[in-house]
Structure 1
Amino acid sequence: MNTQRLVVLGLALVAAGGAAFLVRGMLGGGTPKVEAKAAPAMPMSEVLVAETNLVPGQALAADRVRWEKWPTASVDPSFITHDSVGSEEAAVKGTVVRTPIMQGQPINHNAIVHGDASGFMAATLGEGMRAISIVISAEAGAGGFILPNDRVDVIATRRPDQTLPRGSARTIITNLRVLAVDQTYRQDKDQRTVVGKTATVEVTPEQAELISAAGTTGALSLALRPLSENNVANNDEATRKRRGMTDGPVSIIRYGMAGAVSRQESQ
């Protein structure tokens, strides 16, 4: 082999080695791998959210809400958090929805109202409804059996006079929901009676006018309805526009037992 061939062979070997080196560098075979560090975990808090759509006037219960993880940095001060209340039951006890809350939406303190807060009674009313109080007898034994959330009929009684010697009694409104008895707005566990001087019921504006007129011109009585007849749809059907009653007492009637006192005595 002559010298010229040896030179050519040597150059070829050098070129091959250089090419191999370049290819290895391009493929990264000689570059050490650097593992990417994981981003730090985002701080999370648990906030109370609606399990279903909630409407104004709806009483809250633990099965209508749930805890959901929320970025701590995005938690508004008005949100109800697990750290602040501890449980769903404690968060919603004695509360009513004030403004509409959509499913999955965080519940804030402005969207609900507690029983001991101002505006609670207004929050319990259905849309277009009113609350009116009727004087009842604290001494009437049967009266204590009417409790918040019971349903009652309103009976107007006209005393005997020259035009109506025997008097009259007529049911003017049926199936009204009792909102409160005095300041008691909910029935506690195992509570069977509430003795008070006023019963607040939920009515339409027309029914409020009818009760107000009948109360100033006649005697009003509340008759407790059985649970099997608490059909709200029949409320307006039995509302009769009756005027011309006389002033008189208010009584509570249950299963034929009645008690009545004059308005002056009940004050």
Structure 2
Amino acid sequence: MRRSSIIMLIAAVALGLIAVLFARTFLGNAGDAGGGRSAAAVRTVPTVVAAADINFGEKITPDKVKVVDWPANTLPQGSFQRLEELTMGAGRTAMRPIVANEILTEKSLATGANRLSTAQLLGPQMRAISVPLNEVSGVAGLIFPGDRVDVFMTRQPDEAMPYSELLAQGARVLAVGVDMNVGKEKPELVKSATIEVTPLQAQKIALAVTVGQLSMALRHFTDESRVRLQTAQVMDLNDGTITRLVRKPNSGGSAPSGPSGPPAGGNSGQAPIGPGVVVMRGTSNGMTSSFESVIGK
């Protein structure tokens, strides 16, 4: 009886070992087969990538690029499959900083190695025009290539009050000064900026430069909204509250400028002399609705 128990125990252990070996072998073969099917399902194609960091304006040379196998279904549009496409003929130049192992595309490169031109950055049917800047109108040098800006014109004509107009919204900055590098990191005060606009906007800006002063307002690069603005004048600077302005004393017998009230003492033939107060009551939208002039005694 004791011997039979020992035999049964040995047989059970042997069967357990056989089952473990069988399961390991079967699962391993199944995994290898599945991995082979997965590998076969992913198709790769030769793709040109940067072998090292490429700076803005550098010519693409054989030592700066290499070919790797890249999954075909994740390949970006405009990529290259052969080194000769980049290094032969006129050659190509980097239009922006390119990091190592990044896929090179047509949009990141300019054809021809002689010089870089802003024209290659323009979209179809768009124009490039330069706008004069100073420290204030250029947002203290914080405008960089690739930013989006709104363009305003401020004018002070002789026949009317000063006013401001919106000329363009969301215009893309192509260059600041002579720098087109979108990888530019340090702010710099420049005398001009080149922006991308429509032909009509270019016409308006060209005229505005001759009659007024242009300013730029920096906006978020993802903001593509279009805000409808009216012509802003001095009277529109009020936020809706009542404003009192002290009139300058009248001298030389000339009539005071601006709105006037009834003359003092009932004398309608002579303009009042002395200081006064102009009361402006604004509406909720900031537009002046009424004027009141109180002449000081």
Q: TM-score interval w.r.t. the shorter chain? A: 0.3 to 0.5
Choose between structure 1 and 2 for higher RCO, CA contacts under 8 A separated by at least 6 residues.
1
TM value normalised by structure 2: 0.42
Output the TM-score relative to the length of structure 1. 0.46
